[in-house]
Structure 1
Amino acid sequence: MIEHLYTLYPNLIKVPAHTVSLDERYIWFSMNKEWIGIPAQELTDREALLLSSLLDKLEPEPDQLTTREQMWQKWMEDEVVPDKATIPTSFRFVFFSLKEEVNPSTFQEAVEGVFPTSMPILWDNRSQGIIVEEIHHEDQEPVSYEDIVNILMSDFYMKLYLYVSPFYYQDATEISSHAKWQRMCFQTMLQYEPKPVTTYKESIPYLHVDPFTAEQSRTIRNSLLLPVMDDPELIRTVRVFIESQSNATLAAKRLYMHRNSLQYRIDKFIERTGIDIKQFHGALCAYLAILHETKLSNDG
């Protein structure tokens, strides 16, 4: 049927179902888990009525964006150069991704219930979007996302991933480029099964690993980790140790093991690979090799 509709309406467009905002210049219908739009000027009332009897007609939702959200949307899409007087003292982008689709209004209410102040929220679709954390005065405390992510997950009974950018300070001309760069970091991190809260600094190593081809990643991994590839638990232990700033006490606590057991595993890794992860250079090489292994595992 879709081919026949394309013949009748060559300017027909398709979007994923449950797209948050529908272009009001089109008449929208639901079809095969997708939404199709036909330019209103190409569709007569009789044709619209006929299609409505065959397909579920959709109505565009009214614009739910606040004035502030509309401003941020224009700034991030580089449609308007912001007036410095309208920009907060500092700001950062918090990208979010839910495992399932939610009602934007319900999510907004939950966010407002745990955040100290109202913040702009811009949706990409019904499971992903951006929260703009604005700081308007010096005594305003930044939000601790580690403290609130579990509350939000319990509200929706599903996993929630947050990616937190660094703060930017009244940078009026670079908002669009900052947003695009941070979105790319966020999308990269989603590929690597991130923690509930991931920061920009934590994304940097992944950005260095991601561009490599599978063959290149495999070469790097095998050149450094081949002697321990038969022991994934040892590799996991080393990763947690390095991510704990090589603090054996902290790593042992995170791994729920005795410090002496951790030390034994570290020594075992060093002996089998020849990489001294107690030294900065060795830890860096091992960690990047482990990220290449993670990438290969995620790629299947």
Structure 2
Amino acid sequence: MQFTLIGGIMMKQKLLTYFHGAVEQTTPPSDFQLDSYHWFHIDGENGWFGFQKSEMDLSQFDLLKTLFNHYLPEGIKENREETMWSEYLYFGGMLPDNPCENFRIIQFQINDPHVDKDAIETVFKGFTHSSSMVIWNGANRGIIVERNGNFLEDEEYSSFAEAIQSDFYFTITFYIGKVMAFLTESAAIFSQEKSFFTAGLAINPGDRTLSFETILPHLLISRLGDQELEPFKKWFSILEEDKELLLTIKTFIENNGHNTNTAKKLFIHRNTLQYRLDKFTERTGLPLKNYHNFFTAYLACLYFSNNKPRS
């Protein structure tokens, strides 16, 4: 018994959630991956999904073989370079054959699970350097591997995200990773970056480009206990009462305390901006004049931005 395409995809998603070690990718599994995973495919859908053999007993495996197409490697062509990078980054495999001086991983996630991957890849390849490659790791997420110093600026990814939303009518979020040496140990760093990206999507869903630097303040404030948060609730209560002021202070700090840029960003006159800054200082006793005050005020802005302060 096999499902219809829609039914099969729905069942697959449930199984990917149920088995914690499950993976999904667009490239066929390699011999390395076949050693520790059972792989399956759905007719009419691009991609393969696998389950760790250690997580599945024989009866479960036999049942899945009746529901989906069990992957058989004979006769299936592989993109060897993408496969080797996928093994290296996701499965603890050996370094890819073609060495590079350094590399950076740009993770991405699209809010539409039914995107045309071929069309998206074409757009990516027109935007990124010719030495970069796109590797999918699910229906709507994957990575861009930038190599040999051919790294785009963070602002370029922000502009790219806006262009994609305008042209394709869906949103995409990028995580800008760190430049890494071509070493076996770098795969572990990428594993940490995956966790940061997942956290960033949850705590800062409105941003189209994320990085360790943009996520860290949110993680810090989310980990403070009630005792540490008490000063925020008392000293910065004005930010809960006045959301316009909250946005102003947050934008001011994100623009490095630059009055003109902040006023332009908020579409207000500089005199209006100065009035709000003075109001904040008067109510909190915290002048925005140095790094320490900036950092404290920014954490307060993040705390009240979610509109759900702890009682």
Matched, 1:257 2:268: yes
2:117 to 92, 98, 104: 104
- State the superposition RMSD in angstroms: 3.7
Indicate whether 1:71 and 2:84 are aligned. yes
Hey, what does 2:152 align to over in structure 1? 142
1:119 to 119, 129, 132: 132
Aligned partner letter, 1:14: L
CA distance in 2, matches of 1:282, 1:41: 58
| Structure 1 equivalent of residue 278 of structure 2 | 267
Structure-to-structure mapping, 1:213-252, within 5 angstroms: 215=226, 219-252=230-263
SS at match of 2:257: coil
CA displacement 1:180-223 (0-9 Å, x = unmatched): 1211221121121242223332223223223345x467535303
Residue aligned with 2:178, SS:
coil
Structure 2 contact 132–145 (Cα < 8 Å) conserved:
yes
Structural mapping, 1:1-300, within 5 Å? 14-15=15-16, 19-20=24-25, 25=38, 42=62, 48=66, 66-77=79-90, 79-82=92-95, 86-101=98-113, 102-117=115-130, 119-135=132-148, 140=150, 142=152, 144-170=156-182, 172-191=183-202, 192-212=204-224, 215=226, 219-295=230-306, 297=308
Give the 3-state SS of the residue equivalent to 1:251 in structure 2: helix
Give the drift of 1:78: 5.3
In structure 2, C-alpha distance between the alignment counterparts of 1:217 and 1:293, rounded to whole Å: 15
Check 1:28–1:16 CA distance in 2 against 1; reply closer, same or farther (3 A cut).
Answer: farther
- Unmatched tracts of structure 1, length 5 or more: 1-12, 52-56
Whether the aligned pair in 2 keeps the contact of 1:188 and 1:210 (CA below 8 Å) is no
- 1:236-291 deviations in whole A, cap 9, x for unaligned? 10000001001111111111111111011000000001111222221111101111
Q: Which moved more, 1:97-106 or 1:260-269?
A: 97-106
Q: Secondary structure at the match of 1:229?
A: helix
SS of the equivalent of 2:105 reads strand
CA 1:40 to 1:198, structure 2 compared with 1: closer, same or farther past 3 Å?
closer
State TM-score, norm by structure 2: 0.72
Which amino acid in structure 2 is aligned with residue 199 of structure 1?
S
Alpha carbons of structure 1 residues 90 and 231: separation in structure 2 relative to 1, 3 Å:
same
Paired residues, number: 268
Q: 1:134 to 1:61 in 2, by over 3 A?
A: farther
| Contact in 1 for aligned 2:132/2:146 (Cα 8 Å) | yes
| Amino acid paired to 2:140 | S
**Equivalent position amino acid for 1:96 in 2:** F
**In structure 2, how many angstroms separate the alpha carbons of the residues matched to 1:173 and 1:14?**
31
Equivalent position amino acid for 2:16 in 1: V
User: Any conservation in 1 of the 2:157–2:209 contact (CA below 8 Å)?
Assistant: yes
Distance in 1 (alpha carbons) for counterparts of 2:89 and 2:137: 13
Partner Cα separation in structure 2 for residue 71 and residue 28 of structure 1: 20
Instruction: Show CA shifts across 1:46-65 (max 9, x none).
Output: xx4xx7xxxxx567699786
Q: Structure 1 residues 82 and 257 mapped into 2: Cα distance closer, same or farther (>3 Å)?
A: same
1:178 and 1:96 map into 2 onto residues whose CA distance is: 17
Whether the aligned pair in 2 keeps the contact of 1:241 and 1:248 (CA below 8 Å) is yes
Within 2, Cα distance between the matches of 1:110 and 1:60? 30
User: How far, CA to CA, are the matches of 1:36 and 1:166 in structure 2?
Assistant: 29
- Aligned to 2:16, the other structure's residue is in SS state strand
Q: Which runs of 5+ in 2 are unaligned?
A: 1-13, 44-48, 52-57
Q: Is 2:39–2:71's contact at 8 Å kept on the other side of the alignment?
A: no
Native 8 Å contact 1:163 1:186 kept in 2: yes
